[in-house]
Amino acid sequence: MPSDAPLAGIRVLELGGSIAGPSAGRLLGDLGAEVFKVEPPDGDQLRTWGRLAPDGTSWWFKSHNRNKRLLTFDLRDEREAALVRRIALACDVVLENLRPGTLDARGLGAASLRAEKPELIYVSISGFGQDGPYASRPGFGNIAEAMGGLRHITGDPDGPPMRVGISLGDELAGLYAVIGTLAALLARGRDGRGDRVDVALTESCFSLLQGALPEFVHAGAVPRRAGNRYLRAAPSGVYPTRDGGWLAIGGNGQAIFARLAAAMGRPELAADPKFSTNQARVANSPELDERISGWTRTLDAADAFARLVAAEVPAGPVMSIADIAADAQFAARGAITAVEDDDGESVATYAPVPRLTEHPARLGRAGGRLGRDQQEVLLELGLASPA
C-alpha cells in the first residue's frame, strides 16, 4: 500500500471470520492499514457462502477480504496460539469478532495483550457486547437486527417482521468498529495510550432507530411496521409504473411537495388541508400514496422519472445489481472496480468508501488461497527463519 495512504504504517491483526470483523478489516485495509487475517485450518466459513469461483472459493470471500495478507493458524494449538500472540504484539490493532472469552483462553485476550503492550488498540465485535447478562451468548447479525429493533419496524403492517436483503447488522457493526479504531488511533497519537473498543451488533442496530427512543420515552409511542410508508414524513415511498417498474419518490418537504404536485398535474394538492403540512400528509398518507401511485401507473418508469428530475423532485428507480452495473452515475464515479486474485483473474468489487482527495484509498489483491502470505509475513516480522 502506498506510503501516502491514510493508515499507512498501521498493522492490524484480524481474528474471527464471516462478515462483521472481516468487513471492518477490509475497510481498514482500504485506508492503507496492513491487515493480517488469521483463518483456522479449514478456512473462514465465508469461503463457501454464495456462488463459488472456479477455484472453489466464493466470489464474496474474494471481494470481502481484499487488501489482506492471509495466514492460517489453529488457535487451539498452544504453540500456534503463542505465535499468533507474537504477531499481535507486533501490531497496532487487534480486531476480533469471536464470542467474548474465546481468545482469553488462548492467551490472546485484551487484558493479557494490553498488559504487555499498553499502546495496543483491541477491537471486539460481538452479539451483545463484552459485559452484561447476555455477553456470553452467541450472536449473529440476524439476531441483532431482531433484538435491536430493526426487524420490528420492517415489513407490511399485517405481515411478519422482515429482514433487509443483506446482513445489515454485521455491516453496521463493522462500520462502528472502524469508527472506534480510527478514534482510538487519533487519541493514541495524542497520549500514547491504546484502548479497548467494544462493539455490540445489537447496539449497532439499536442506534439506527432514529426517533423511536425519545418518542417512546417521552410520548409512549411504539413504532409499527408500515410497509413502504415512512411514519414521520410524507410522501416517501416507492410507487409502481405502467411498465412494471418502481420509483422511489421523496416529496416530504413543503417546497418539494408543491413541485411534486405540479409535476403530477395536480398543483391544488399542495394547498389541500389534507396535504398542506407534513403532519397532515403523514396522517393521510394512504390516500396520498394512492394518488401518487395513480399518477405513476399511467407512465413508464423512464418517463415518470424524467418528469420528476425536471421538477427537481428527489426520485430514483428501484435498481437491481444489473441496473447498477449499467448505470452512468456509478460508472462515472468508478463505484464498481476490480482486484486480481491469486491466478491473475479479475474479481469485481466495490470501490472504497469514503473517498479522500489527498490521501486516497487504493486496492491491492483479492482474498485468495488459505495461508497465502504466511511465510512471507513471519519472515518480515522476524518470527521465522529463511528456508
- Say if residue 41 is preceded by a cis peptide, omega within 30 of 0: no
Supply the DSSP string of 191-250, one letter for each residue: H---EEEEEEHHHHHHTT-TTHHHHHHHH-------TT--TTSSSEEEEE-TTS-EEEEE
DSSP three-state, residue 136: coil
Angle between helices 301-310 and 254-263 (to 10 degrees): 130
Active-site residue 158, yes or no?
no
Decide if 54 contacts 205 (C-beta within 8 A): no
CB atoms within 10 A of CB 3: 7
**Who contacts 5 (Cβ-Cβ below 8 Å, separation ≥6)?**
31, 32, 359, 360, 361, 362
CB atoms within 10 A of CB 138: 10
Q: What is the largest CA-CA distance in the chain?
A: 82
Q: Which residue of the set 30, 44, 170, 198 is catalytic?
A: 170
Query: Cell numbers of 224, please?
Result: 409499527
Residue type for position 337: T
Residues noted as catalytic = 170
